[in-house]
């Protein structure tokens, strides 16, 4: 099982059409011994179609596994059959085929909300508020969700019936066992935010590379 290894997992999100941010985040995480990298969606930006090819090339070249963000979906849906968007077909196909949610060890990875069966594509939009967090905690009483979309790092946890929201500073290391169940927002690559997850020790480090 993943949780019994000493692997470090690098997590990033919301590069929004900035291939340099993807490359810098990936290099930063690899230099810190992350053997697996995950991107939590909005690799591309629907307003910057000309950067889509370069963004996807960076994701592929750095061996990053990704989920689909709302901008990835919108850009791919808009680009099919339109040569004026200037996006390669293989880029469109890559974005179109990204999963909405992944399970990695004990964690779920999604762009915004993990309720894919109930919401379908709507799961990639919308905020993670009190009600959504309560739904996740009810379905996953010891659960862990990594998400993007909101652009600022955040930890949502439950203590009894109370749901707490906390904004962690860069460099903070938390023991996830003390916070479970919890929902962790990565923060945007465009602001230099990434995270390092150590499943074996159940530890998470918030980082910046700028």
Residue 62: inside a domain, yes or no? yes
Checking DSSP bridges between strand 8-12 and strand 101-104, what pairing results, if any? unpaired
Return the pLDDT at 43: 98
> For 108-112, what is the mean pLDDT?
98
- Inside any domain, residue 157: yes
Q: Count CB neighbours of 118 within 10 A.
A: 10
Least confident stretch, 4-18, 29-43, 53-67, 105-119: 4-18
Residue ranges of E strands in the chain: 8-12, 34-39, 64-66, 101-104, 107-110, 144-147, 154-159, 162-166, 173-175, 182-185, 193-198, 203-208
Domain count, the chain: 1
Contact 25, 58 (CB under 8 A): no
Tell me the backbone φ, ψ of residue 6, rounded to 5 degrees: -100, 20
Confidence of residue 1 (pLDDT cuts 50, 70, 90): very low
With a cut of 60, say whether residue 192 has pLDDT above it: yes
Provide mean pLDDT across the span 119-146: 95
Decide if pLDDT at 5 tops 70: no
- For the cut 80, the answer to whether the pLDDT of residue 197 exceeds it is yes
* pLDDT of 83 over the 80 cut: no
How many CB atoms are located within 10 Å of the residue 93 CB? 12
Sheet of 173-175: strand order equals: 64-66, 34-39, 8-12, 193-198, 203-208, 173-175
Place of tokens 């909005």: 42
Query: Is 2 among the domain residues?
Result: no
Q: Tell me the average pLDDT of the chain.
A: 94
pLDDT over 50 (residue 41)? yes
Q: What is the pLDDT of residue 4?
A: 47
Give 125's DSSP letter: S
What does the alpha-carbon distance between residue 1 and residue 178 come to, in Å, rounded to a whole number? 21
Residue among 104, 106, 121, 114 at smallest CA distance from 64: 104
Residue 110 clears pLDDT 90, i.e. is over it: yes
Q: Residue 2's pLDDT band (boundaries 50, 70, 90)?
A: very low
Q: Which CATH number is 34's domain given?
A: 3.60.21.10
Q: Is residue 75 part of a domain?
A: yes
Average pLDDT over residues 129-142: 96
What's 178's DSSP letter? G
Token representation of residue 131: 């009600």
- Tokens 């779920």 belong to which residue? 108
Has residue 188 been placed in a domain? Answer: yes
Q: Which residues contact 98 (CB under 8 A, 6 or more apart)?
A: 41, 66, 67, 68, 72
For residue 37, give the nearest of 83, 102, 85 by alpha carbon: 102
Residue 196 has pLDDT above 90, yes or no: yes
Residue 1 is assigned to a structural domain of this protein: no
Residue span of the structural domain in which 165 resides = 7-208
């Amino acid at each position: 099982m993943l949780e019994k290894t000493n692997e470090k997992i690098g997590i990033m999100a919301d590069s929004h059409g900035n291939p340099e941010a993807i490359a810098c985040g990936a290099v930063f995480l690899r230099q810190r011994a992350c053997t697996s990298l995950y991107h939590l969606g909005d690799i591309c930006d629907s307003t910057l179609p000309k950067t889509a090819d370069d963004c996807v090339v960076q994701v592929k070249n750095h061996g990053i596994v990704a989920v689909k963000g709302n901008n990835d979906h919108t850009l791919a849906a808009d680009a099919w059959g339109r040569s004026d968007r200037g996006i390669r077909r293989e880029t469109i196909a890559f974005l179109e085929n990204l999963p909405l949610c992944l399970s990695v060890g004990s964690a779920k990875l999604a762009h915004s909300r993990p309720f894919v069966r109930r919401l379908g594509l709507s799961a990639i939009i919308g905020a993670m508020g009190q009600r959504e967090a309560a739904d996740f905690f009810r379905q996953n009483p010891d659960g862990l969700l990594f998400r993007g979309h909101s652009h600022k790092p955040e930890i949502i946890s439950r203590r009894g019936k109370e749901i707490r929201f906390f904004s962690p500073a860069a460099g903070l290391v938390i023991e996830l066992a003390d916070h479970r169940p919890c929902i962790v927002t990565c923060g945007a690559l465009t602001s230099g935010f990434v995270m390092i997850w150590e499943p074996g020790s159940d530890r998470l480090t918030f980082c910046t590379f700028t």
